[in-house]
Structure 1
Amino acid sequence: MPAPRPFVLLSAAMSLDGHLDDASPERLLLSGPDDFDRVDAERAASDAILVGGNTLRADNPRLLVNDPGRRAARRAAGRPEHPLKVTLSASGRLDRSLRFWHTGGERLAYTTDAGAAVLRPALDGLAEVVALGAAVELGAVLDDLGARGVRRLMVEGGGGVHTQFLAQGLADELQLAVAPLLVGQAGAPRFVGPADFPGGPARRMRLLGARTVGDVVLLRYAPKEPAP
Structure 2
Amino acid sequence: MSRPYVLLSAATSVDGYLDDASSERLLLSNSEDFDRVDQVRAGVDAILIGANTMRRDNPRLLVNSEERRAKRVAAGKPEFPLKVTVTASGDLDADLKFWHHGGKKLVFTVDSAVEKLRAALAGLADVVSVGSELDWGLVLDELGRRGVGRLMVEGGGTIHTQFMAQNLADEVHLAIAPLLVGQPEAARFLGAGNYPGGSTARMKVLEVRAIGDIVFVRYSPKERG
Point out where structure 1 has 5 or more consecutive residues left out of the alignment.
none
Q: How does 1:74-113 map to 2 (within 5 A)?
A: 74-113=72-111
Q: For residues 157 and 29 of structure 1, what CA distance do their matches in structure 2 show?
A: 15
Q: For residues 112 and 91 of structure 2, what CA distance do their matches in structure 1 show?
A: 11
Q: For residues 39 and 113 of structure 2, what CA distance do their matches in structure 1 show?
A: 33
Of 218-227 and 26-35, the range deviating more from structure 2: 218-227
Q: For residues 224 and 167 of structure 2, what CA distance do their matches in structure 1 show?
A: 12
Match of 1:120 in 2: 118
In structure 2, what residue type is equivalent to 1:122? A
Residue 165 in 1 paired to residue 163 in 2?
yes
1:117 Cα shift? 2.1
SS at match of 1:219: strand
SS at match of 2:108: strand
Write out the 4+ residue segments of structure 1 that deviate beyond 6 Å after TM superposition: none
Point out where structure 2 has 5 or more consecutive residues left out of the alignment.
none
Q: For residues 188 and 16 of structure 2, what CA distance do their matches in structure 1 show?
A: 6
Residue 28 in 1 paired to residue 22 in 2?
no
Q: For residues 133 and 172 of structure 2, what CA distance do their matches in structure 1 show?
A: 25
Aligned residue among 52, 62, 65 for 2:63: 65
In structure 2, what residue type is equivalent to 1:13? A
1:224 Cα shift? 0.4
Residue 141 in 1 paired to residue 139 in 2?
yes
Q: For residues 167 and 224 of structure 2, what CA distance do their matches in structure 1 show?
A: 12
Residues 180-221 of structure 1: CA distance to partner in whole angstroms, max 9, x if unpaired? Answer: 010111111000110101111111101111001111000110
Aligned residue among 2, 13, 20 for 1:4: 2
In structure 1, what residue type is equivalent to 2:137? G
**Count of aligned pairs between the two proteins:** 225
In structure 2, what residue type is equivalent to 1:98? L
In structure 2, what residue type is equivalent to 1:42? V
CA RMSD of aligned residues (A): 0.6
Q: For residues 124 and 201 of structure 1, what CA distance do their matches in structure 2 show?
A: 46
Match of 1:219 in 2: 217
In structure 1, what residue type is equivalent to 2:143? L
Q: For residues 142 and 157 of structure 2, what CA distance do their matches in structure 1 show?
A: 23
SS at match of 2:79: coil
Residues 55-92 of structure 1: CA distance to partner in whole angstroms, max 9, x if unpaired? Answer: 00100010000001001101111111100000000111
**Normalising by structure 2, what TM-score?**
0.99
Match of 2:43 in 1: 45
1:136 Cα shift? 1.3
Match of 1:191 in 2: 189
Residues 96-152 of structure 1: CA distance to partner in whole angstroms, max 9, x if unpaired? Answer: 100001110000000000111210111112000001111111000000000000000
Q: Is the 8 A contact 2:197 2:224 kept in 1?
A: no
Give aligned-pair identity as a percent.
62
